[in-house]
Structure 1
Amino acid sequence: MDEFRMKLKSYSNPSNPARGKTILSSKRKTEAYLRVMFDGKDVTPKPLNPDVFSGGRERQISVYEHDRPDVRRSTIQSLNKTYSIVRFKSELREGREGSTQPYRGSIQSSTHLTSLGGASSLTDKEENPTSGSQDENAEPSATAGLEAGPPQEEEDEDTSSIQAMKKMPVRVALTLCETNTVFLLDIPSATAIKDTEEGDLVELDNEAYEYLTVGKGRNRKMLHAEVQTKPIIVKTRTTDYQRNKTKAGSSYCSVWEMYDTYKDKQDSEEESEDDSEDSDVGEATGHKLDEVSSLDSFRLSNEEKQVQKLMKSPRFLEAVCVIERLLASNCFKEEQKIFRCLTVPDDFREKIEYNYRLNHLWTFANEYTKGRSVNSLDWNSKNKDILAVGYGKFYFADQVAGLVLIWSIKNPVQPERQYNFTPPVTAVSFSKENPMLLAVGFYDGAVIVLNIASREKMIIGENIPPFEPCWSLCWNYGQTQGEEEVVCATFDDGRICAYSVQKKLEPFQLMRVAKADGKLKGYNATKKCTNLVIPVTRYDAAYFLRYHPIHSSIYFVGTNQGVIHKCSINYLNQHLDLFLAHEGPINAMKFSPFCPQIFATCGDDWHTRLWAEGISDPMVDMYVTMHSVEDFDWSPSHSTIFVTTQSKFIQIWDIQRKIYDPQSITESPSKARCTKVQFTDNGNCLIVGDVDGNVHVFSVEDLPFKAFFQENLLFESMSRVLSTNLPLMKKLRKLRRKQSVMK
């Protein structure tokens, strides 16, 4: 108790500068009950209910609760009472501001201090007589105006004595304490800090989860165990039911019967649809007919309808194709054996002659090809029995509609597919990756991609036609390995464009061939008599495009001025090199199948020339008559043999034998000018197209035996030809050594 009184005295000491004066100082003895009188009226406030305001009181009482649990209730009531009186006094003082009358009133009864201390409170003067002189100059205490009320036993009695009131204290010491923390929202974190205890636990949980779901724990051993379950309580019930009468029966139905049944049903539905369409057509066109004529006379009979429907059936057309092949094999049985190399002459026969003879087997032609020039030929990349032929005339005075026919060796009489077009066809080319796709170029500049798997015209992709004709087509892969196949086309305005196979063929320009000026290397052409100051066009027509057999990024372009441009897909619109090959348009350029550094060209200047890559001068120059060399092709079986076409003649050359004259000259069976020539893959047969729409198939017979080293034979034959030209022979030998080192 003495310790508590010392604490209370320290709070009420005004000399302490760190704390203000307290209104609870007990300088004089107070009584337990006080009344507050103002202007002769009793304004004593009624005590408040401590239970109502228990949440807003200060919590300093916890010290006393800890020391004296038995006074907790009384202490709370005393503090609540003190709080209400102090509040009332402060409000009353604010209402009396400006008044001259002094304020008098009681603040606190001695009951409060008595209840806190556990005994009657004494004033500071009574407890410490020497402190009177020290507090004389101090401010009057807040309890200076307090007078003792009735004693504890007389609290219930009415008291009429009015105590003298003094002024309110000037300073009041208030202590602010922190309230309890109230959490309005608490969201626990889903993560933990690494390298902590919580983080280590989370990592262990994650590792265990991955082990059980993804890792080896997924395949953990499983065991079967038995457990006991509660038996299901059931009840047995029986009833009587009349037995059903049954009868045994059987039936047999084959797969063909089911197929025919559903097929007849489908055919009947299609016939009903056709009848409805015919009736609609009759109603729509009825107003155009003569009144005398009857609609029945224009309608077909049921038999004719069935025949027309049968002719459109894909199954019937396929059956007709098979029957035509069987009938054709009866007529061309021996020729087909020769084409397939089933009848090969004996290498050890008694009489062997090298006549380079062409034996005519058959001709691909029908009534639709008559009068249409053969402009392009191409064998299928997968099925070597399939040949695509493009027809059309594009002369100014005589233009014929285009036609594409797909011929088969199994049926030399009728084509397997037929596609009609309005503009003349100038080029056809099969895809190397997808053999069903056929690229077709036209005289109006259009380029389309056909799917020949369908008998109807199924166009996979089509471009927007430019203003100039398309002269050649070829398939090649994109700039990088693994890209899809693209169609490369050359046009008369010098453009070389690449198209990706899609519904709308978008052009990507690789090159535009400019007109070559000045003196060019290559063939030493005669000087022109005229010199045009202002040329008609700045670009030459690109007639063909050939990719290098080894370097897929290098390609060659031939023009109508006889110039060959060496280009690369890595350098757009720029050529790497160029040289003059012919005086006039170049019709063909092809690489040797045995030596990729040797290639041949033919043109309208009546010459056929052999070239070596990197050497600007021609190695071999061949000339026969004053006719344009329309086409050229190397033999796949002999490195020194190749074929050319001039006018209506087919010429077979062998540079191993001679170069001043061909080994054999064969006249076309139709006596028409030949336009295209091409060997088969085995080199035993030859196909030739002419301006009348005929495609002749020949077998090449009486050829020399195949050499073991075809490339060496080619170089040796060319070296013998160049025996009079030592500089060129040295260049050729250097190229040969370089080729051997590369291998």
Structure 2
Amino acid sequence: MKQSRGMLLLYSMKNPSFPEYTFSSESGIMCLDMHVDHPYLVVVGYYDGNVAIYNLKKLQSQPAFRSSAKSGKHTDPVWQVKWQKDDMDNNLNFFSVSSDGRIVSWTLVKSELVHSDIIKLKVEGSTTEGLEGLQLHTVGCGTAFDFHREIDYMFLVGTEEGKIYKCSKSYSSQFLDTYDAHNMAVDAVSWNPYHAKVFMSCSSDWTVKIWDHTIKTPMFIYDLNSAVGDVAWAPYSSTVFAAVTTNGKTHVFDLAINKYEAICNQPVVAKKKNKITHVQFNPIHPIIIVGDDRGHVTCLKLSPNLRKMPKEKKGQEVQKGPAVEIAKLDKLLNLVREVKPKI
């Protein structure tokens, strides 16, 4: 991938064909995250290793705050940024992950971005000897991360080497756990929005895997016959997720309906020309957006067949809510646990 100029475009559902806000940058923008409580604040990560915060309330073309070589910028492209809860002094806080192997926490203190290295990824058991017999660790390249929704200190990091590390914001020197997850780079990791134990990963090795974080082996494996660029859980169901593959298709799964294959495979872009790189569910409406490597964003509506709710039994009210969603996924996981041979 070569260095080029970047753009940040923000659209509204009122007019999806033309952006409401347009910002250009010297370096390519690799990722972004909008603040949940302050949606006018958008954090971005750049190809050159910098991070920045744009304030949509201020009519200026440059970011309101930006890292620099002095303030601890990454030395490689930033693959993901995520807002976290404000710190103890109510300062804004976000995290970034990069190929340089650093997971960095950034805090906005007195109009300045202050960085703190949370963890440095080292490839376990791979030391090389440098000058004068110095032991040098091989650095792991971070590609994706996600933070647990309930256990505040816990997060997952996917790497270019195919491993997933379970980390803590408190321990910078060691991992809580290591999963030998994939044979190629991990492109995304994502905690289930309902079930506290479950997360999902996808990779260029063609697979999507669903895990219970207390178990070292995956619960479900799906081979999609093409490199998987991204995965996303549906906000309305614990068993529904979408995956996008480089052959131009979007796959929608509902494990409660079919645990073996997707309930929908939809070609979205011409496979010889474009690669799909991202997928995201709308938090409220039955819509997904899909982005490709040529800069196109496609907005798709999920048909009612893909949003089947539990059938009403005579005289019984259909149960809804988080507890029902957790039980639904638990039932599937228990089936798999029973089938798995005991070693």
TM-score, normalised on structure 1? 0.41
Partner of 1:181: none
Partner of 2:233: 634
Partner of 1:685: 287
Partner of 1:471: 79
1:405-424 matches, within 5 Å, as: 405-424=9-28
1:526-605 matches, within 5 Å, as: 538-605=138-205
Measure, in 2, the Cα distance between the counterparts of 1:532 and 1:653.
Answer: 43
Q: Do residues 505 (structure 1) and 113 (structure 2) align?
A: yes
Measure, in 1, the Cα distance between the counterparts of 2:46 and 2:339.
Answer: 46
Measure, in 1, the Cα distance between the counterparts of 2:204 and 2:129.
Answer: 25
Partner of 1:703: 306
Partner letter of residue 51 of structure 2? V
* 8 Å Cα contact 1:685/1:700 also seen in 2: yes
Q: CA deviation at 1:696?
A: 0.7
Q: CA deviation at 1:591?
A: 1.2
Q: Per the alignment, do residues 720 and 657 of structure 1 end up closer, same or farther by CA in structure 2, a change over 3 Å counting?
A: farther
Partner of 2:244: 645
Q: Which runs of 5+ in 2 are unaligned?
A: 311-318
Match of 1:427 among 3, 25, 31: 31
* 8 Å Cα contact 1:479/1:553 also seen in 2: no
Measure, in 2, the Cα distance between the counterparts of 1:620 and 1:593.
Answer: 17
Measure, in 2, the Cα distance between the counterparts of 1:552 and 1:578.
Answer: 19
Measure, in 2, the Cα distance between the counterparts of 1:536 and 1:403.
Answer: 38
Partner of 2:339: 724
Measure, in 2, the Cα distance between the counterparts of 1:646 and 1:536.
Answer: 37
1:211-610 matches, within 5 Å, as: 395-396=1-2, 399-464=3-68, 465-477=73-85, 480=88, 483-502=90-109, 503-517=111-125, 538-610=138-210
Measure, in 2, the Cα distance between the counterparts of 1:660 and 1:532.
Answer: 43
Match of 1:714 among 317, 329, 334: 329
Q: CA deviation at 1:657?
A: 3.2
* 8 Å Cα contact 2:128/2:137 also seen in 1: no
Q: CA deviation at 1:458?
A: 4.3
SS at match of 1:516: strand
Measure, in 2, the Cα distance between the counterparts of 1:417 and 1:516.
Answer: 44
Q: Can you list the C-alpha shifts for 1:488-547, whole angstroms capped at 9, x where unaligned?
A: 1112111111111254322211111111238xxxxxxxxxxxx98889961111112211
Partner of 2:275: 673
Measure, in 2, the Cα distance between the counterparts of 1:592 and 1:669.
Answer: 27
* 8 Å Cα contact 2:96/2:104 also seen in 1: yes
Partner letter of residue 574 of structure 1? Q
* 8 Å Cα contact 1:479/1:569 also seen in 2: no
SS at match of 1:400: coil
Q: CA deviation at 1:414?
A: 1.3
Q: Which runs of 5+ in 1 are unaligned?
A: 1-394, 519-530, 729-743
Q: CA deviation at 1:670?
A: 5.1
Q: Can you list the C-alpha shifts for 1:310-349, whole angstroms capped at 9, x where unaligned?
A: xxxxxxxxxxxxxxxxxxxxxxxxxxxxxxxxxxxxxxxx
SS at match of 2:43: strand
Measure, in 2, the Cα distance between the counterparts of 1:532 and 1:459.
Answer: 40
Measure, in 1, the Cα distance between the counterparts of 2:74 and 2:262.
Answer: 42
1:10-29 matches, within 5 Å, as: none
Measure, in 2, the Cα distance between the counterparts of 1:676 and 1:568.
Answer: 27
Measure, in 2, the Cα distance between the counterparts of 1:662 and 1:533.
Answer: 48
Partner letter of residue 498 of structure 1? S
Q: Per the alignment, do residues 719 and 691 of structure 1 end up closer, same or farther by CA in structure 2, a change over 3 Å counting?
A: same
Q: CA deviation at 1:574?
A: 2.8
* 8 Å Cα contact 1:418/1:455 also seen in 2: no
Measure, in 1, the Cα distance between the counterparts of 2:112 and 2:325.
Answer: 45
Q: CA deviation at 1:726?
A: 4.8
Q: CA deviation at 1:559?
A: 1.2
* 8 Å Cα contact 1:448/1:459 also seen in 2: yes
Measure, in 1, the Cα distance between the counterparts of 2:177 and 2:170.
Answer: 14
Q: Can you list the C-alpha shifts for 1:68-110, whole angstroms capped at 9, x where unaligned?
A: xxxxxxxxxxxxxxxxxxxxxxxxxxxxxxxxxxxxxxxxxxx
Q: CA deviation at 1:588?
A: 0.7
Q: CA deviation at 1:717?
A: 2.3
* 8 Å Cα contact 1:451/1:458 also seen in 2: no
RMSD (CA atoms)? 2.4
Measure, in 1, the Cα distance between the counterparts of 2:96 and 2:240.
Answer: 29
Measure, in 1, the Cα distance between the counterparts of 2:56 and 2:18.
Answer: 16
Q: Per the alignment, do residues 428 and 614 of structure 1 end up closer, same or farther by CA in structure 2, a change over 3 Å counting?
A: same
Measure, in 2, the Cα distance between the counterparts of 1:575 and 1:483.
Answer: 28
Q: CA deviation at 1:571?
A: 2.0
Q: CA deviation at 1:459?
A: 2.4
Q: Can you list the C-alpha shifts for 1:568-615, whole angstroms capped at 9, x where unaligned?
A: 222233322222111121111111112121111111111111101211
Partner letter of residue 106 of structure 2? Y
Measure, in 1, the Cα distance between the counterparts of 2:204 and 2:306.
Answer: 29
Q: Per the alignment, do residues 719 and 576 of structure 1 end up closer, same or farther by CA in structure 2, a change over 3 Å counting?
A: closer
Match of 1:620 among 212, 216, 220: 220
Q: CA deviation at 1:721?
A: 4.2
Q: CA deviation at 1:651?
A: 0.6
Partner letter of residue 706 of structure 1? M
Q: CA deviation at 1:727?
A: 3.8
SS at match of 1:506: strand
* 8 Å Cα contact 2:23/2:62 also seen in 1: no
Which has a greater percent of strand? 2
Measure, in 2, the Cα distance between the counterparts of 1:645 and 1:549.
Answer: 24
Partner of 2:314: none
Partner letter of residue 78 of structure 2? C
SS at match of 1:662: coil
